Chains A and B, each alone.
Chain A
Amino acid sequence: MAGGAASGGNATSEAYAPARGWLLLPTWVVLGIVVLAPIVLMLIYSFLTKEFRGGVIWEFSVDAYDQFFFDRGLFGDDAPTIQWAYIQIFWRSIWQATLATIFCLLIGFPTAYFIATRPANQRTIWVFLITIPYWVNLLIRTVSMRFILRDQGPLNDLLQWTGIVAEPLTIINTNLGVQIGLFYSYLPFMVLPLYAAIERYNFSLSEAASDLYAPRHKILTRIVLPAVKPGLIAGCILVFVPSLGSFLAPDLLGGARNFMIGSLIDEQFRGSAGNWPFGAAASMILLTLVLLVLMVLARQQARLEKGAG
């Protein structure tokens, strides 16, 4: 599925070498417009003065970052102390995203393994089945999840009917609800890269290890997992990053009682606060955090490839 085809020899790339500059132009234009320009704009806005009820005044200011890191009390005139509110919101989001990634990994890995070990002609069908729910809009899926999970919903009806629980299990408006929502939203982003990696894995390696009396858990941890690590890392990134910024699941399944990063930023632009520079600054801080995580992972990947090559 992935890989293989891309390594089409060096001769071709040599032939195009003189034209490489302008052949890459479309890529640079697209990257410039959809990635670079918005980020630069955000960076600039985060250092501007806020205009009351939305908008910015074109004067340099670090107020937005100051607001993020320092607490000056309810009236804004106390001596500055560390502002824990936003750190708490960020920490909650990171924690939720981490848990969602772990759950996706725990379910996603066996699923991907199962698909990859089916006969070749059946695999496409399994992959197809995994993607079917994702043809429906995320909002609708999240609302449906709400219907299923609520106190008087089908899940609780089933649990009570089978006698597993006596009282309805409250899932909606709890962290568990958010977890289930995130897990459900992003599971295929874990399964698909993992499947691509496991499919390429040479299963005779497992057989060889087994012949040499390696116990099953050793085969998994010493042979299979290192071989599929790139897919594993890709899957984790693809689940972690969107979970971090998501606000549909926290809003609809978590009750939005506590802000997540996404809803905090949303409030700065669409809420009463109308504090665009602060929204931009919070986004920049989030972006920096994500970049740091990605860089650590990328570096690890590079070290892996070096070791392998």
Chain B
Amino acid sequence: MANYLRTSAIALCAGLGCATAALAEGDVVVYHWFEYIPQELIDKFTEETGIRVVMDTYDSNEAMLASLRAGGMGTYDVAVPGDYMVQIMRDNDMLDAIAEGELSNHGNILPEWLDVRYDPGRQHSIPYQWGSTSFSVNRDVYDGPINTTEIIFNPPAELSGRINMLASQGEVMALAAIHLGIPMCSPERDDVQALNDLLMGSRQHWVSFNSDTAREVLVSGDAAAGMIYDGFSARARIEEGANLEYAFATQGYIAWMDNVVLLNDAPNRDNAIRFMDFLLEPENVGILTNWTQYSAGIAGVDAFLDPALAAQPERNPPEDAGPAIFIEVCDQATQEIHDRIWTALRR
């Protein structure tokens, strides 16, 4: 009902033309992940700046890259690629440089996220959120120890045949490499063969490959365990009451950071800069982080965070957790071998 009233108010407002003044500042066109920004924050931005946010969404870094390369450049102002994808986009000359002093809140970026490997000196990007990718287990189904990647690659009988994998080659390959303890893009024949054998041998335990329903399948019970992002798992547990435990394997887990990048040929470059500046304000990032339940890379956010957030098990790896490892960008030859494994895995 409240929603309905609000919609009516907006419709009425638009009908009477009272919105036109606010929209005079034009648009910012955002290419974003699905379900990754609260409406509240978008409304706040429009309220403060008069700039309307136009948004398209994608469900994987690769899908975003493909659509930008297939004629999407010049349509969007900003996108939100993950760490390794920033590097790929930078190497392909798809990112515009942010001049020094253009972002008034640039100083809010935490020092450890300033000089990142994929964008040294943060010339093209700002931190959006960071977190980890691991897996969660439904504790109603299995109550044994779960902090090992064996759960995914050599699961106990209760979980075998009930595991959902992310439909993303990079993340599945990375977790497999972590399980084997080999470098992610190792070109060594023995390593590649081991990676292949592991995945082929484990596929019998996996029931589905879904990324955008990764949370839903765990909540509904379609899957009893599955690869998932930390914030997704937290929201499934807290908001939807699923008895899920997020695992930090002793072998290690995947770390990631999503970043807002300024695209080349941005049609509304000035508005894009204001949008990025807005996303460097601690208060705004606090709203964002409370909603996504991931972590922020901005100083001063803590004051705006829900106190319960800091204590969440999904963001506090236990003492014996393995290292957090970022996904690496493989060279072409290795990537082609990974493509072959991925096709064979799902033939």
Contact = CB atoms under 8 A, between A and B. Distances in A.
A and B are partners in one complex rather than unrelated chains: yes
Interface of A: 52-55, 74-76, 84-86, 88-89, 150-152, 172-173, 251-252, 255-259, 264, 267, 269-275
B60 interface: yes
A255 B221 contact: no
A173 B222 CA distance: 9
Contacts of B196: 74
A251 B346 contact: no
A74 B193 contact: yes
A55 B164 CA distance: 31
Interface stretch (B46-54, B107-115, B330-338): B330-338
A151 B69 contact: no
Contacts of B9: none
B321 interface: no
Contacts of B170: 272
B207 A255 contact: yes
Interface of B is mostly: helix
A173 B342 CA distance: 19
Contacts of A255: 164, 207-210
Contact of A257 (B69, B343, B346): B346
A274 B66 contact: yes
A48 to B, nearest CB: 14
Contacts of B189: 75
B344 A53 contact: no
Given A76-B340, A173-B208, A256-B210, 17 more contacts: A74-B340, A75-B337, A85-B344, A85-B347, A86-B343, A86-B347, A150-B221, A256-B209, A257-B207, A264-B343, A269-B66, A269-B70, A271-B342, A272-B339, A274-B62, A274-B65, A274-B66
B88 interface: yes
Interface of B: 60, 62-63, 65-67, 69-70, 88, 92, 164, 167-170, 189, 192-193, 196, 203, 206-210, 213, 220-222, 332, 335-344, 346-347
A263 to B, nearest CB: 8
Contacts of B338: 272
Interface of A is mostly: loop
Contacts of A53: 65, 69, 88, 92
A84 B335 CA distance: 21
A152 B60 CA distance: 29
Contacts of B169: 271-273
B66 to A, nearest CB: 5
A282 to B, nearest CB: 11
A173 B346 contact: no
Kindly list the 3 A-B residue pairs having the minimum CB-CB distance in the complex, ordered from nearest. Answer: A255-B208, A272-B169, A270-B63
Contact of B347 (A54, A172, A259): A259
27 contacts: A52-B332, A53-B92, A54-B65, A54-B69, A54-B70, A55-B69, A85-B344, A89-B347, A152-B221, A251-B210, A255-B164, A255-B207, A256-B208, A256-B210, A257-B203, A257-B207, A264-B343, A267-B342, A270-B63, A271-B342, A272-B62, A272-B168, A272-B335, A272-B339, A273-B342, A274-B66, A275-B339
Contacts of B192: 74-75
Residue of A52, A53, A55, A274 most packed against chain B (CB within 10 A): A53
A54 B8 CA distance: 44
B10 to A, nearest CB: 23
A105 B196 CA distance: 42
B285 to A, nearest CB: 30
A273 B344 CA distance: 13
A256 B193 contact: no
Nearest to B171: A272
Contacts of A52: 332, 335
A234 to B, nearest CB: 33
A208 B60 CA distance: 63
Contacts of A259: 343, 346-347
A76 B92 CA distance: 26
A105 B207 CA distance: 30
Given A173-B222, A271-B169, A76 B336 contact: yes
A59 to B, nearest CB: 16
Contacts of B167: 256
Contacts of B210: 251, 255-256
B208 A88 contact: no
A271 B62 contact: yes
B11 to A, nearest CB: 22
